[in-house]
Each structure stands twice: as structure tokens, then as C-alpha cells.
Chain A
Amino acid sequence: MSVEDVRVTVTRIYEDISGQSLEEGDILINTLHAIQDHYGNFIPIEAAEVLKELTGTPLSKIYEVLTFYTMFSTHKRGKYVVRVCKSLPCHVTGGQAVIDALKNILEIGFGETTEDGLFTLEETSCLGLCGVSPVMMINDEAYGNLTPERVSEIIHEIVSRERSE
């Protein structure tokens, strides 16, 4: 994607969001979410420059926000971001075995993306689904009562769906 493409896209997203908002100056995070959704799980670094011009916010402040929040990434991530819960309720109900299974099946560690660009593995803080722990989210979909076997089923289901498309 060229710098010009990013400029056009980010400008459109920004204008769209500022049109819906009641307040000015608080829309940076919402805009970043929308940009990330648009590009599929990451924010091209060039977007910061465009936002600087659009909002008048210093570049340093934009980088600050972009890098502070764990959900924003400036690196391209997989089509499916697997976010496995590392909190205590999951830990005491077999969470480590689930994490090990994910690493084994995907053959990647935390923060890494599979070679085919399908999956990125991340850890997350509590997902609030402790009643069915251990849990993970794949993009916006949550999966509970996980076991290493169930993890393997879920991942293989996605892989075979992707292959058939």
C-alpha cells in the first residue's frame, strides 16, 4: 500500500468518526480502532503522520497512544488473532496446558505470526469468561471450556475453512 492510499483511507475514517462524535479531541483512540479494523488487525505506521495533520496532535503524542495500548499493533498481524487468557482463574483450571497446546499446534510463540499469515498468538488479560475457563478469543469470537484437544479442533476447523475458500 502506498503512502497516498493510507492518507486517503485514514482521512475518510477520521472524517466519518468525527461526524458521529459529540466532543472534539477525544476521538484518537476510536479512530485508531477503526483504522486497525479497516486494515485487518494492524495500523500502518504512516497513519500516525496523517492523523497528525488532521488532528493537529503532535506526532509524539500519537505514537505514545499507539504504543501504550496492547491492542494496537503497528506490525502486520495474522488474519486471525488468537488471544489466550493468562489470568489466574484460567491458570488454576488448566490454562497452561491450553497455552502449550496453542504454541505447539501453531508452532509460534507469543507475539509471533504463522508463516502463512493466518494466525498471530497473543496473551490477553482477563476476558471476563471465568465461568467457563480456560478461555481464548479468536478475533471477536470467544471460546470457553478449553482443553488441548478442543484447541486443536478449533484451529484445524479454521485452517480447513481457509483452505477450502
Chain B
Amino acid sequence: MPAVENTVLICAGGACISAGEKSVKGVFEETLRKYSLENVVRVVETGCMGACDLGPILVIYPEGVFYQKITPENASRIVEEHILKGRVVEDLLYVGDMGDLRERPQEELPFFTEQVRIATRNLGVIDPLSIDEYIARDGYFALHKVLFEIGTDDVIEILKKSELKGRGGAGFPTWMKWDFTKKAEGETKYVICNADEGDPGAFMDRAVLEGDPHSIVEAMTIAARVIGAQKGFVYVRAEYPLAIERLTHAMKMAREYGFLGENILGTDFSFDLEIRIGAGAFVCGEETALINSIEGKRGIPRVKPPFPANRGLWQKPTLLSNVETYANIPPIITNGGEWFSKFGVEGSRGTKVFALAGNVKNTGLVEVPMGITLRKLIFEIGGGVPGGKKLKAIQTGGPSGGCIPLELIDTPITYDNMKKLGTIIGSGGMIVMDEDSCMVDVAKYFLEFTVEESCGQCTPCRDGTRRMLEILERITSGEGTMEDLHLLKDLGENIMATSLCGLGQTAPQPVISTMRYFWDEYEAHVKEGRCFAKKCKSLTRVVISKEKCVGCTACSRVCPVEAISGSVRTPHEIDPEICTRCGSCLAVCRFGAISKVSP
């Protein structure tokens, strides 16, 4: 067999797959076979490389040339040109802001170079289905260290020094959780991984499970050793079938290699893992609701205390952390607590994975030291807002968080700072919104979500959020009053004070926060019936300028509800009664004659 000359990494993260990675890979491999190159070119499907907007992505080594936005049609050209003739296919390279071609953006662009990858260290680098590649990157070294070199108290000490806090949202010090569960009385204990990632706009847990499943298996085994657990569960959302598939495979391989199961690495320590699949309930991301769901019940939160560390799954001491938190554990144990805490700033140590989504040029996942400013994250790393539009706000922390306006963009991202701004880091979702987003509409959007996802157990959340939504619906349809605005605020504060679980206690946050920073928008909706962003349909009309319209009929042909009338070469008109403000006509008008107006 000839030696491998090229290794080709294809990003098989969820986003690239949904952008057509499978057919690209199919064509690529077929072309390799056509030229009998299948033995000299090794094709590896990796986890998420992070740059979702560039997908499908393919990187060819040893040169490290990065091809982006590949289609099945041009995948064969990469084989024929690059591999066969050694010529770089220029039109598939990354194009910089100045039209410059970049062969190796991973070594040049801030999106890649500003990152410090700890939790995501193996993403896009290894084949997630290969345990050997994980081991080659120091995988299972930490487990070995915990079993043979250091004691369980040493592990707690390392975690304490690392100052790692839970990355799922609440930000509770990880070492304390481990310590409480370790000290809790009881023979039977459990370790659980919360992979019920549900915050809209957060997708780092998905990427870690899909791209580096062994890091979770290793971390949970270490946790089990430290707290004295025999069994563990990974609770994964049913929405993530690929994550379930790759994790299942990783668990099987770990058992074969003796990292999981009976007598791990020949010691008397035994531990095994099982996957439990969610069934579409956001509230199950709350730890006690998740525990109920594993027990085969309705996923409704329990009253705390007792906390899971003392009485969790089947009333037994249970350690529960989220995916990203676990992913940080092996490198922290291998390299020491001080190594981790040298990243970040006081009170917020280490790195955090952020998911950039919405109106931002470079969407995807980035892992950066905490304390980075929002400006650097959104503009330097994220590339700013596309289409020459202006940034309006950044939504963080999902339905439990709030919106940060442009004026506060120089704030360093820390747990404390975010709290002061009336939001949270949460799981790390950053939804960037441009000037076309209406903040009242955004608040309404989150309330719709909460109303839908409230488990119904306690009244403030079940009924209160519904009343809030009704008020917001009045406001966005132009029927709100100033009294409504005050009622909305009052009601929100009440719900936050009286709800049972974290979901209810934070549900009004998107409303309270947008009222704090965008009060003028709320007022304009109520007093003038005006939506600044022209997003609220009842307050907006689509009109055709008589002067600019040449009567080309493009708009009337595309209108799905036939609201546009007019004959060829005469100005057209839109019937506001029929028009649904979908904006299809705006997109096709080549004369700039159609616009949205709000009084």
C-alpha cells in the first residue's frame, strides 16, 4: 500500500452536514477513485471547525489549504486541480474583506487566531469516531492520572485552583459541586451530563458531543471516580441525532479499550454510562426537571433544596454538569488548575465558547478567554454586521438573558458585568441583531417561547408569562397603552420573584432588559403606532412609489397573496388589506420603488 500523501479533513459538524457536506464528500471520494487516488489520499470527517458560514469546509494537508462553501459540482475540481496537479483552486479559497485570497485563513484570520481552544481543543482536528486520534491528542491521560497518580482530593484542589464555573448558565463553581457530591452520604451515587442544550442560539454542546465525544466520556469517568459514583447518564436532546450516534460509538470504543465499564484500566474502579434521550421539552435543561425526565416522568422541576448533590436521581447524591463544563475537565487535570486560571480575568477564569449567530458575518463557534470585550468578539472575531447595516443589540443568555445595546459594546464579558447589564452569559449564545430587528418583537418572541415551554407547574410562570405575552401582542399590534407598559414591568418583576424554577425566574428578563435599553421603542409603538424597525406587521405598510415604479410587473408576479395590482408599464399599487408584509416584492424590485413605512 502506498504511503498517504495527503490528508483531507472535511468538516462534518451539524451545520456543514446541513449545508451539504455528505454529497460533497461523496463526489470528492468518487473522483479520488476515478483517478485511483483513494489509497494515497486519506479523507477524514472531523467535528465542527467553527466557521459555520463558510461550510461545507475542506482542508488539505500537509499544506493546510482551506477550501470553503464547496458544492458537489466543484468538489471534483479540488481533486483534479489541487491533488492531481498541485494547483490551488483559487475560486474556492477564502476571500478577505479587501478581495484578497487567503489559502490558510486558519493561521491568519482573527476568527481563528484569537481563539484559545480548551473545551473545543479537538473539534475539527480529529476524527470523532476514532478513539486512537483522541488518545494521540492526550486523551484519557487525565483519567490515567486520576487513577494512578493523584488522589480524589487532589482533583478537587485542582478544580478549585482552576476557578472553573459551570458553563451551562448558572455559573456555579464546579469544584464546590464535586466536593458537595463527594461528601454526600450514600453508597449509590450518579454522574449526569446535561446535554439538553436548549437556549436558542447556543450550539457549542452539540458541537462538542459531535466532534469530541470522548472528552465527555473521560470527564464523566473522572467525576465518577472522584465522587464515588457507579453509574452515569448523558441526557441528550432528541433534536441531536448525530450527537447521540457519535457518543454511542465513543462509549462502545471506550469500553473496548478499558476506559469504561468493569475494572477500568485494571483497577477495582467500575463505572458505566448510558444515554437518555429527551423528547422535546426545554424545561428539561433545568437540572431537577432533567432528573425527573431520566426517571421516566414528566419533566417538571423539583423544589430546591434539597439539591441534587444530596438528593438527585432516585433521591441519591448526583453530580450534574453541562457538556462544555465536562469538556474542560481533562485538560485542566492534565495541565493543572493554575494553567486554566491564567486565562480570563478576576471572577471569570478560563475560556468560554461563544456561539455567534444572527446578523453577524462570521457565524459559528469561537472559544476565547473570558473578559474579552463584546466589541472584539462581535467585530474583530465575528467580522461585524453584514450588508453594511448597523448593529443594534446583542442578545445573550437565551430566554433567560437580555439584550445589550450598541452603546455598551466595550464591556468585557464576565459573569459580573453581564449581571450588571441585566443579562447573563448563560450558555454562551450571542444573537447579533441589526437595525432591522424590533426590540419589542424580540421580547415578544422570547415570551412566545416561554409560554410554549412553561411546564405548567407553578402559576406565576404558567399564567403570568401568558398575560405578559398578551400585553406584548397588544403593543405590537398598535393597541397598547402606557398603562400596559407599566403593567408589563410590574408583572415581570412579580414572576421573577415568585416562580419555582430558573426558567420562570428569568423568563421576563428579555422584556425587562429591552424595556431598560429600548424604552423609546416601546413608547413609539404605543404613542405613535410606529415600529422603528418596520417589523411589526400591524404598524407597517408596504408601498410602491408612483415616481419610481416602471410597471415591470416583477412584484405582482412574486406576491403570494395577489395584493399587487397594475398593468404593464404603469405604476403598481399594493392593497394594504390583502398584503401580509412578507417582503417578497421588496426583494425583487430592481428600481427601489418599494419600501416599508411605519407612520
Contact = CB atoms under 8 A, between A and B. Distances in A.
A132 B281 contact: no
A68 B55 CA distance: 36
Interface string A46-88: 0000000000010001001100111110000000000000111
Contacts of A129: 14-15, 18, 52, 203
B281 A130 contact: no
Contacts of A32: 279
Contact of B296 (A28, A93, A125, A137): A28
B582 A30 contact: no
By secondary structure, the B interface counts as mixed
A108 B580 CA distance: 17
A126 B202 contact: yes
Interface in B278-296: 278-282, 293-296
A65 B298 contact: yes
Interface stretch (B326-334, B369-377, B429-437, B519-527): B429-437
A29 interface: yes
Contacts of B543: none
A106 interface: no
Contacts of A23: 231, 274
A124 B52 CA distance: 21
Interface residues of A, number: 49
B238 A26 contact: no
Contact of B198 (A33, A125, A145): A125
A35 to B, nearest CB: 12
B15 A89 contact: no
Contact of A29 (B14, B55, B241, B293): B293
Contacts, number: 163
A65 B296 contact: yes
B262 interface: no
Given A21-B274, A61-B297, A71-B238, A128 B197 contact: yes
Contacts of B446: 88
Given A126-B200, A128-B240, A132-B18, A68 B299 contact: yes
Contacts of B357: 89, 130-131, 133
A127 interface: yes
Given A88-B201, A125-B449, A29 B279 contact: yes
Interface string B159-171: 0000000000000
Given A65-B298, A126-B200, A144 B238 contact: no
Given A21-B274, A97-B584, A26 B295 contact: yes
Nearest to A21: B274
A10 interface: no
B277 interface: yes
Nearest to B230: A22
Contacts of B356: 131
Interface in A100-154: 100, 104, 124-133, 135, 137, 140, 142-145, 148
Contact of B294 (A26, A93, A128, A148): A26
Nearest to A71: B280
Given A32-B279, A89-B201, A125-B200, A22 B445 contact: no
B182 interface: no
Contacts of B197: 128
Contacts of B293: 29
Contacts of A86: 449
A71 B472 CA distance: 28
Contacts of A1: none
Contacts of B202: 126, 128, 130
A21 B277 CA distance: 13
B449 A130 contact: no
B502 interface: no
A25 interface: yes
B468 interface: no
A60 to B, nearest CB: 11
A22 B255 CA distance: 15
Interface stretch (B150-158, B172-180, B358-366, B591-599): B358-366
A70 B201 contact: no
A22 B365 contact: no
A109 to B, nearest CB: 14
Nearest to B190: A23
A86 B452 CA distance: 12
B206 A128 contact: yes
B297 to A, nearest CB: 7
Nearest to A103: B560
Given A92-B433, A97-B583, A100-B582, A130 B279 contact: no
A70 B449 CA distance: 13
Interface string B429-463: 10101101100001001100100110100000000
Contacts of B19: 132, 144-145
Contacts of B436: 92
B18 to A, nearest CB: 4
Interface string B201-216: 1110110000000000
Given A26-B295, A133-B363, 9 more contacts: A21-B274, A23-B231, A25-B295, A71-B279, A93-B358, A125-B453, A130-B200, A131-B55, A144-B19
Interface of A: 21-23, 25-30, 32-33, 57, 61, 64-65, 68-72, 86-89, 91-93, 96-97, 100, 104, 124-133, 135, 137, 140, 142-145, 148
Interface of B: 14-15, 17-19, 52-53, 55, 197-203, 205-206, 231, 238-241, 272, 274, 276-282, 293-299, 314, 355-359, 363-365, 395, 429, 431, 433-434, 436-437, 442, 445-446, 449, 452-453, 455, 560, 580, 582-584
13 contacts: A25-B314, A68-B281, A71-B238, A71-B280, A92-B431, A97-B583, A125-B449, A126-B198, A130-B201, A130-B357, A131-B363, A132-B15, A132-B55
